[in-house]
Amino acid sequence: MQDSRPHPHDWNVSTDEAKRIQRRLASEVTERALPDGGETVAGIDVSVRDDTAQAAVSVLRLPELDVVDEATHRCEVPFPYVPGLLSFREMPAVLPALERLHSTPDVFVTDSHGAAHPRRFGLACHLGVLLDAPAIGVAKSILVGAPQGELGPEKGSRVPLVDDGETVGTVLRTRTDVNPVYVSVGHRCTLDGAADLMLDCSPRYKIPEPTRQAHKLSRAEG
């Protein structure tokens, strides 16, 4: 992936400014069909140790899920962890890592929420809008909303994640008898399409292979 725009965003902002930015950019999230065919999916994750963040991106090709590209970037964390403002903590480390890729992924997947967020603008949305590319959020726990109805125990089972009367995500069982993950729209995808793709990316583990690989890479030293 080649160099993106010079100053996509100023990350040194107050929490109030961050919330205003989220509310403004949330209106730019669009829903549309995901590209189909033998695509490449980039998993993104960030690990933090002693105020230093290491972002990692692992690009996998479907349907085999072979790793075809990787990149990392380390920097000081510029923002504390505040529920709802995760993107302001992790994006500064993620963007430089993306610029180091040798290819341009078709879809981006983050280990966080997209629209399943207080202002409907989680990290997956922020990434998708800044890159203007398809993005999906896959979190391991709920930030807002509640599962609608009971989720079946079988792999592939799914129920809506509803917040304030609005479907903001999908509770998806990627492994039989294992806790589900929470999928939500980041940008340029439909909720069902996102859940379908994440299921295709989880042939063996609960966590989709792209973010699973990125998680390992973010924890690796270097």
Q: State the residues that interact with DNA by CB under 7 A.
A: 45-49, 81, 83-87, 111-113, 117, 122-124, 137, 139-143, 215, 219
Q: How far apart are CA 152 and CA 131, in angstroms?
A: 36
- Least distance to DNA from the beta carbon of 85, Å? 5
The three-point CA angle 12-15-17 to 5° equals 70
Establish whether 111 is an annotated binding residue.
yes
User: Between residues 86 and 197, which has the closer beta carbon with respect to DNA?
Assistant: 86
User: Between residues 81 and 205, which has the closer beta carbon with respect to DNA?
Assistant: 81
User: Between residues 20 and 219, which has the closer beta carbon with respect to DNA?
Assistant: 219
- Least distance to DNA from the beta carbon of 214, Å? 10
User: Between residues 124 and 171, which has the closer beta carbon with respect to DNA?
Assistant: 124
194 and 185 in contact (C-beta within 8 Å)? yes
User: Between residues 48 and 68, which has the closer beta carbon with respect to DNA?
Assistant: 48
Establish whether 45 is an annotated binding residue.
yes
Going by the annotation, the residues of the binding site are 45, 111
Going by the annotation, the residues of the binding site for Mg(2+) are 45, 111
